[in-house]
Amino acid sequence: MSRPTILLLSGPNLNLLGERDPRHYGTATLDTLVGLARQCADRHGYELEHLQSNHEGDLIDAIQRARGRCAGIVINAGAFTHYAWGIHDALAAFDGPVIELHLSNPYAREPWRHVSVVAPVAVGTIAGFKDDGYVLAIEAMVRMLGR
């Protein structure tokens, strides 16, 4: 029997992790974080599919393709979090749980980061744990799906 799939999405500029503002985002590269997230999913009997894109439409296409196929979505939408209503609408049309993820804590930063269009369609948010965030979000998703 094939294993259920968790879709992990990383939005704009997250391909620069490792070089970008380590004070907020830690020092690990995205490849490292996704590798750890995949190991965690695997340990719990899930497949992990990951996409990073700097383009809103690519993320929307991936969310639409997950409908009826993926068990849940973990999304770090980067700056799209704060204004991309197309991503909100695509997530709202997804049939499984959504977890919002941030490496930094947006609520402790500039006021424009305090608004999230992902939060209203998410079961919860993992934020502020830097390099640990990706694994913590997968752990949270596994618990959510196991209920």
Using CB under 6 A, which of 4, 5, 13, 86 touches ligand DQA? 13
Alpha-carbon dihedral sign for residues 30, 18, 25, 113? negative
> Tokens in use for 18?
């490792």
| Cβ distance to ligand DQA smaller for residue 95 or 108 | 108
Query: CB 8 → ligand DQA: shortest distance, Å?
Result: 13
How far apart, in whole angstroms, are the C-alpha atoms of residue 46 and residue 74?
A: 13
Residue 87 binds ligand DQA (CB under 6 A): no
- What's the CA dihedral at 75, 76, 79, 81 to 10 degrees? 40
How far apart, in whole angstroms, are the C-alpha atoms of residue 9 and residue 25?
A: 16
Catalytic residues: 25, 102
Using CB under 6 A, which of 30, 41, 74, 81 touches ligand DQA? 81
Using CB under 6 A, which of 106, 121, 137, 142 touches ligand DQA? 106
| Cβ distance to ligand DQA smaller for residue 2 or 110 | 110
Residue 54 binds ligand DQA (CB under 6 A): no
Which alpha helices (DSSP H) does the chain contain, by range? 22-25, 30-43, 56-66, 85-92, 133-146
Using CB under 6 A, which of 29, 32, 113, 145 touches ligand DQA? 113
Residues lying near ligand DQA in the complex (CB under 6 A): 13, 76, 78-79, 81, 102-104, 106, 113
